[in-house]
Amino acid sequence: MMILSAFLPAALGFSLSQQSAYRTHTPRSSRAVVEASASGDVILIGVAADSGCGKSTFMRRLTGIFGGTNVGPLGGGFDSGGWETNTLVSDTTTVICLDDYHLNDRQGRKVTKRTALDLAENNFDLMYEQLLALKSGETIMKPIYNHVNGTLDTPEEIKPTPIVIVEGLHPMADERVRDLLDFSLYLDITDDVKFAWKIQRDMIERGHSLESIQASIEARKPDFDAFVAPQREFADVVIQVLPTQLIPDDKEGKILRVRFIQRDGKENYDPVYLFDEGSTIEWTPCGKKLTCSYPGIKFAYGPDEFLGNEVTVLELDGKFDNLQELIYVESHLSNTATKFYGELTQQMIKMGDSPGSDNGTGFFQTLASLKIREFYETLSGVTVEAETPKVAA
C-alpha cells in the first residue's frame, strides 16, 4: 500500500501542501523519529545539492572514505548505457537519489506546469514512510525516476545498510524527513559561481549566447530560491562556494572561496578548527616556510552566524599547486577526524582527477566525509577501517 502510493497518477490540484512543510511542527512524527534514530539500526545522512544524483564527486569521496567493497549501482546495472537505477550500494552504504520520489514523470509535470524543484512535485509522504522503514531495518520497494526518459520505472528493492545516504534536491525540506536524518549537509553553490561556471561551459565551450545563459539561470532561480535554498538553515554542515577574494573582481570562477559552515551544538560533532578553537583567525600559509604560486591560499576560521544559527566557519580561498601545500594545511587543522597523519591529503590525491581536488570544494567535501565517518562511528559504536596509508608525508 505504502509503495503503491508512489505510482498514483498525481493530477493537477492533487496538493500535499508541501510548501507549508517548512518550519511546521508535527510533534507526533517528531517523536517517532527520535525512537527510530535511537534504535541505531541505520544511520541516515542527508545531502542537499543542486546537481545530478548518484555519480557526483562528493558521493564518491564519501563512499570512498566509508570504504566497503562492491561499490556500484544497485544490481550491477548501467553497463548497457540504459537507465536502471539511481541507487549506489556497497556492503556498508546505500546512496539513494531523492529524484526517485518525484511525484510525476516529466510528462506529468507538463500538465502541472511545475518544475521538479517545486515541493508539490515531490512525494514527501512516501519519502518519509520509506526512510522511516529503512531506519527501522525494513526492506522497501523504492520508486525509480528515469532521468533519461523522465519516466517513473518499476520500483527496486532496497535493503537497509548501516549507512543510508539520501542525496537530492530536498532531503531537508519536509520536517518529518528532516527529523529522520542523523546528519545533514548542504552543498551551496552561490549564484555568482553558478553563473561563472555556466558561462565557462555553455558560452565558451558550447557557443551559447550570454543572453540564453542568463535566461536559463533566471528561469530556474525562483523555484530554487523558494524550495531548495531554504534547507540551508537546517543543515548541520553547509559547504558554501563563493568567488575568490584573492583576485580583485575575478569573473572566471576558477579560483574559489569555499566555506565549511558547521552548525554549533550538533551532538557528537566537534567542529574542525584552526590553531585556536573558538577564536577568529585569518591564515595565509604561503610565506617563508611554504611557497605557493599566485594567488596562493588563504584560510579563515571563526564563529559566525548563518541564517539565524550560531555556526563555526572554516574557510579556504585559493588553489593548491602541489602535495606539499595540501599536507601542510592538513597538519595545521584540528578535529579533522583523520585516522592517520595525512589521510585527508591521501584522499584528495586518490581523487586527484575529480573536479575540486585542488581547491576548497574537494578539500571540504573530503573533510565532511571524514567528519561524517567519525560521526557514524560515535553514533553506531562501529569502527570503519581506514585505507592503508600510501602517502609518505
Asked if 304 contacts 313 with a C-beta cutoff of 8 angstroms, the reply is: yes
What 3-state DSSP class applies to 320? coil
Cβ-based nearer residue to its own copies, 287 or 355:
287
Least Å distance, CB 379 to its own copies, is 24
Least Å distance, CB 289 to its own copies, is 4
Cβ-based nearer residue to its own copies, 212 or 280:
280
What 3-state DSSP class applies to 257? strand
- Give 135: exposed, middle or buried? Use CB within 10 Å, 0-12, 13-18, 19+: buried
Cβ-based nearer residue to its own copies, 5 or 279:
279
DSSP single-letter state for residue 205? I
In 3D space, the residue among 169, 107, 364, 379 whose CA is nearest the CA of residue 258 turns out to be 364
Q: Tell me the C-alpha to C-alpha distance, in Å, between residue 254 and each of 172, 193, 259, 317.
A: 30, 9, 16, 11
Interface residue list for its own copies (CB under 8 A): 275-290, 302-303, 312, 332
The rounded distance, in Å, linking the Cα atoms of 170 and 152 is 18
Cβ-based nearer residue to its own copies, 174 or 325:
325
Least Å distance, CB 255 to its own copies, is 18
The rounded distance, in Å, linking the Cα atoms of 376 and 370 is 10
Q: Phi and psi for 246 in degrees, rounded to 5?
A: -80, -30
Q: How many CA atoms lie within 13 A of 356 on its CB side?
A: 23
Cβ-based nearer residue to its own copies, 209 or 280:
280
Asked if 393 contacts 328 with a C-beta cutoff of 8 angstroms, the reply is: no
The long-range contacts involving 126-130, CB below 8 angstroms and separated by at least 24 positions, are 126/2, 126/3, 126/5, 126/6, 126/101, 127/98, 127/101, 127/174, 127/177, 128/29, 128/174, 128/176, 128/177, 128/180, 129/2, 130/2, 130/3, 130/158
Angle between helix axes 360-380 and 343-350 (nearest 10 degrees) is 120
Greatest extent of the chain over all pairs of C-alpha atoms, in Å: 67
Q: 104-127 in b/e burial notation, b at 16+ Cβ within 10 A?
A: bbeebbeebebebbbbbbbbbbbb
Least Å distance, CB 41 to its own copies, is 35
Least Å distance, CB 281 to its own copies, is 5
Least Å distance, CB 235 to its own copies, is 20
Least Å distance, CB 294 to its own copies, is 15
Cβ-based nearer residue to its own copies, 303 or 389:
303
Least Å distance, CB 276 to its own copies, is 6
Least Å distance, CB 55 to its own copies, is 38
Q: Tell me the C-alpha to C-alpha distance, in Å, between residue 115 and each of 6, 24, 137, 280.
A: 18, 23, 33, 42
The rounded distance, in Å, linking the Cα atoms of 135 and 43 is 7
Least Å distance, CB 269 to its own copies, is 15
